[in-house]
A = this chain, B = another copy of it.
């Protein structure tokens, strides 16, 4: 009878499963790695901002130091998974030494978010309820590990940020101070993107490659754009290509599609869409010409 499970049945499925495909795994086995990555991020963030993410006692020096010690051990363990047989204790410590510098950058990002959004009520709100802080703080830590040439771990960190924010920043991207993202869902920032100081980016912006048809042959080439200081890129805009340079103080309007360089100081926007109007006879209205303002399109 079909509803009685034959004990050899599962064994057969097992054999079939094991015979399909290759091994893939090159890392040391570490089944809880995703959870450890999340825990590491939380530890480091609380060590940097004990008043916001910690409890009443967590901002004493002893509590911060204890957290750093725990983070060091956990990071060493993760590095042993990603890169066995190397002196990962030193590497973990080297990373921690860079933490005050990362915090100094984050301070500027928090300030930029507060200054840029009229809906923000406090810098603490930025840290507790803005996806930008989640994404940028994780990116800054992942970028440091990427610069240390750690495989896998930085990408797992930024992919965790992508999962919870919809903001996909590759740890290889270089990003200056006072970086501001609002809303953020759908933002993609590619591996070889370079971003200066004081740049603002809204939801749905792609800083991408023109084509990746070359696949693995393009590995390591500059494929993504360079964005200079004080640039603002409104929502839905795409800026593409490794040779595309967006000059200082440029403003890129919503939905603009940019594949060549933009000179310093320019404001680029899409010309008015041509819109068509039809009127439902069940709801007749006096016909009125509706003109779109073709000056500036900001989408926020």
A280 near B89 (CB under 8 angstroms)?
no
B residues near A278, Cβ cutoff 8 Å: 266-267, 269
B257 near A255 (CB under 8 angstroms)?
yes
In the assembled complex, 6 residue pairs joining A and B whose CB atoms fall closer than 8 Å, in A order, are: A15-B61, A31-B54, A118-B218, A118-B220, A210-B298, A236-B236
B residues near A165, Cβ cutoff 8 Å: 163
* Any B CB within 8 A of the CB of A74: no
B residues near A291, Cβ cutoff 8 Å: 260
**Cross-interface CB contact of A280 among B24, B116, B267, cutoff 8 Å:** B267
List the 10 shortest-distance A-B pairs measured between CB atoms, nearest first.
A25-B51, A265-B283, A118-B218, A16-B100, A21-B107, A271-B274, A129-B155, A211-B298, A267-B278, A129-B159
What is the CA–CA distance of A163 and B49 in the complex, to the nearest angstrom?
Answer: 22
B residues near A33, Cβ cutoff 8 Å: 128
B residues near A51, Cβ cutoff 8 Å: 23-25, 29
Tell me whether A124 and B10 are in contact in the complex, defined as CB-CB below 8 angstroms, given that A118-B219, A260-B290, A271-B276 are known contacts: no
B65 near A10 (CB under 8 angstroms)?
yes
* Any B CB within 8 A of the CB of A75: no
* Any B CB within 8 A of the CB of A198: no
Interface range on chain A: under 10, 10 to 19, 20 to 34, or 35 or more? Answer: 35 or more
A296 to B: closest C-beta gap in Å: 7
What is the CA–CA distance of A184 and B34 in the complex, to the nearest angstrom?
Answer: 20
B118 near A223 (CB under 8 angstroms)?
yes
A72 near B298 (CB under 8 angstroms)?
no
8 A Cβ contacts from A96-114 to B: 96-97, 99-100, 103-104, 106-107, 110, 114
What is the CA–CA distance of A82 and B69 in the complex, to the nearest angstrom?
Answer: 31
A228 to B: closest C-beta gap in Å: 11
8 A Cβ contacts from A253-272 to B: 254-271
* Any B CB within 8 A of the CB of A137: no
Considering residues A106, A215, A285, A300, which has the most beta carbons from chain B within 10 angstroms of its beta carbon? A300
B residues near A206, Cβ cutoff 8 Å: 203, 235-236, 299-300
B269 near A285 (CB under 8 angstroms)?
no
B residues near A120, Cβ cutoff 8 Å: 216
A31 near B14 (CB under 8 angstroms)?
no
Interface string of A205-228 (1 = CB under 8 A from B): 010111110111111110100000
B residues near A129, Cβ cutoff 8 Å: 152, 155-156, 159
* Any B CB within 8 A of the CB of A18: yes
B residues near A277, Cβ cutoff 8 Å: 266-268
What is the CA–CA distance of A267 and B68 in the complex, to the nearest angstrom?
Answer: 54
B299 near A64 (CB under 8 angstroms)?
no
**Cross-interface CB contact of A116 among B204, B215, B269, B271, cutoff 8 Å:** B215
